[in-house]
Amino acid sequence: MKSGFVALVGRPNVGKSTLMNHLIGQKIAITSAKAQTTRSRIRTVYTDKRGQIVFEDTPGITRAKNKLGEFMVSVAEKTIEEADLILWIVDATGYIGAAETEIRDQLRKAGKPLILAVNKVDLVQDRASLAEVIEKFRKFAAPKELIAVSGLRSGNTELLLDTLFSLLPEGPMFFDEDTVTEEPMRDIAAELVREQALRLLRDEVPHGIAVVVDRMKEREDGLTDIDATIICERESHKGMIIGKGGQMLKRIGTGARRAIEEMTGTRVNLKLWVKVRPDWRDDSAKMKEFGYDIRNLK
Ligand SMILES: Nc1nc2c(ncn2[C@@H]2O[C@H](COP(=O)(O)OP(=O)(O)OP(=O)(O)O)[C@@H](O)[C@H]2O)c(=O)[nH]1
Ligand SMILES: [Mg+2]
């Protein structure tokens, strides 16, 4: 039996969460076309006869602009420290810049076995360009293994699992074989609301949003009532989140309800509120209240 913790790390928007969801065959982490979607550690479990892999998805590593940004960087650092194996994900269409060099040096310091996943290969035009991209990254990162993948189009993910198992140590099962995640359902529901906000709102607005589930209760007839609050940074943002005649809030609610229903397999009655908490992303006490606290990292 092989087992261990695999940290998924890299720059924002390279496809870490999409790839993790694909590897475990279920959507647990939210994803979006906007950078800095993942804000905390999302732990999921993959088990088969080879053993058990505990995946830890992390926020994209980038320069912090506020306390929330600092929290996100510490989540990535702590996860790297605790992992058995690092899965560094890069975008095949991206260039190698100062940020990549910083991540490489940080990972070297950590001294853990490194696998480089060159992701989004479906976007690379032809075989010759792909070979070039792979060579460029291999030279730059000198990983133990390099695998070209597509988390979106499922290219090579089976090979990636095989490689992960081959590099993991012998060890026990950390979780029950049926466990996919231990993330509480109400946290996942809150994230699914935030995912809709990221999809539907523009500019800085979705980045200044936090979502808290205030109540989640299943009725006897199976319907689940969920009350959630969308926290934003400004009155003007609140106006945009609610939209003309409440249209935007309604679209966010409908999208999130459908996603939560798919996840829970029950019918859901979702009620959303919007509150303003000026500059909460620079307020440690407020951040804790909204679930961003490094000491509570599972
Ligand atoms: N074409 C293509 N797009 C992908 C692939 N993987 C992810 N994407 C897209 O890239 C965007 C970012 O994906 P995420 O999974 O949210 O990226 P992330 O690295 O988790 O981003 P952060 O949480 O912000 O750090 C989304 O629009 C995905 O659909 C892929 O293999 N191919
Ligand atoms: Mg992510």
Residue range 154-210, pLDDT digits in tens = 779 899 999 999 999 999 999 999 999 999 999 999 999 999 999 999 999 999 999
**Which atom of ligand 1 is closest in space to residue 13's alpha carbon?**
21
19 and 151 share a domain?
yes
- Mutation test of ligand 1: which of 11, 130, 152 has the most ligand atoms closer than 8 Å to its C-beta? 152
What pLDDT does residue 88 have?
A: 98
163 and 191 share a domain?
no
Whether residue 175 is contained in a domain is answered as no
The CA–CA distances, whole Å, from 200 to 9, 115, 203, 252 equal 26, 34, 10, 7
**Cβ–ligand 1 contact at 73 (below 6 Å):** no
Whether residue 219 is contained in a domain is answered as yes
Residue 219 CA, ligand 2 centroid: distance in Å: 33
DSSP designation for 223: P
99 and 22 share a domain?
yes
Whether residue 91 is contained in a domain is answered as yes
What pLDDT does residue 47 have?
A: 98
Q: Across the 298 residues of the chain, what is the mean pLDDT of every consecutive 10-residue run?
A: 98 98 96 98 98 98 98 98 98 95 97 97 94 97 97 89 97 97 96 98 96 97 97 98 98 98 95 98 98 92
**Which atom of ligand 1 is closest in space to residue 11's alpha carbon?**
25
User: Can you tell me the distance from the alpha carbon of 40 to that of 205, in angstroms, rounded to the nearest whole number?
Assistant: 19
Closest CA to ligand 1's atom 32: 120
16 and 163 share a domain?
yes
- Mutation test of ligand 1: which of 14, 18, 68, 124 has the most ligand atoms closer than 8 Å to its C-beta? 18
What pLDDT does residue 29 have?
A: 98
10 and 135 share a domain?
yes
CATH of residue 99 = 3.40.50.300
Q: What is the domain count for the chain?
A: 2
What pLDDT does residue 210 have?
A: 98
**Cβ–ligand 1 contact at 15 (below 6 Å):** yes
Whether residue 174 is contained in a domain is answered as no
What pLDDT does residue 155 have?
A: 79
Closest CA to ligand 1's atom 27: 33
Whether residue 66 is contained in a domain is answered as yes
87 and 44 share a domain?
yes
First-to-last alpha carbon distance for the chain, in angstroms, is: 24
The separation between CA 201 and the C-alpha centre of its own chain, rounded to angstroms, equals 19
Residues 6+ apart with CB under 8 A from 173: 1, 3, 47, 51, 52
**Cβ–ligand 1 contact at 91 (below 6 Å):** no
Q: Pick from 141, 167, 193: which residue ends a domain?
A: 167
159 and 207 share a domain?
no
159 and 189 share a domain?
no
146 and 200 share a domain?
no
17 and 151 share a domain?
yes
User: Can you tell me the distance from the alpha carbon of 241 to that of 232, in angstroms, rounded to the nearest whole number?
Assistant: 9
**Cβ–ligand 1 contact at 143 (below 6 Å):** no
User: Across the beta sheet with 210-218, what order do the strands follow?
Assistant: 210-218, 224-232, 268-276
What pLDDT does residue 112 have?
A: 97
Q: Which ligand is nearest to the CA of 33?
A: 1
Whether residue 197 is contained in a domain is answered as yes
**Which atom of ligand 1 is closest in space to residue 150's alpha carbon?**
31
Whether residue 172 is contained in a domain is answered as no
17 and 153 share a domain?
yes
Residue 122 CA, ligand 1 centroid: distance in Å: 12
What pLDDT does residue 153 have?
A: 87
Closest CA to ligand 1's atom 6: 15
**Cβ–ligand 1 contact at 37 (below 6 Å):** yes
67 and 126 share a domain?
yes
DSSP designation for 181: B
CATH of residue 223 = 3.30.300.20
- Report the predicted TM-score, pTM, of the whole model to 2 decimal places: 0.97
Domain that holds residue 268: 185-296
Whether residue 176 is contained in a domain is answered as no
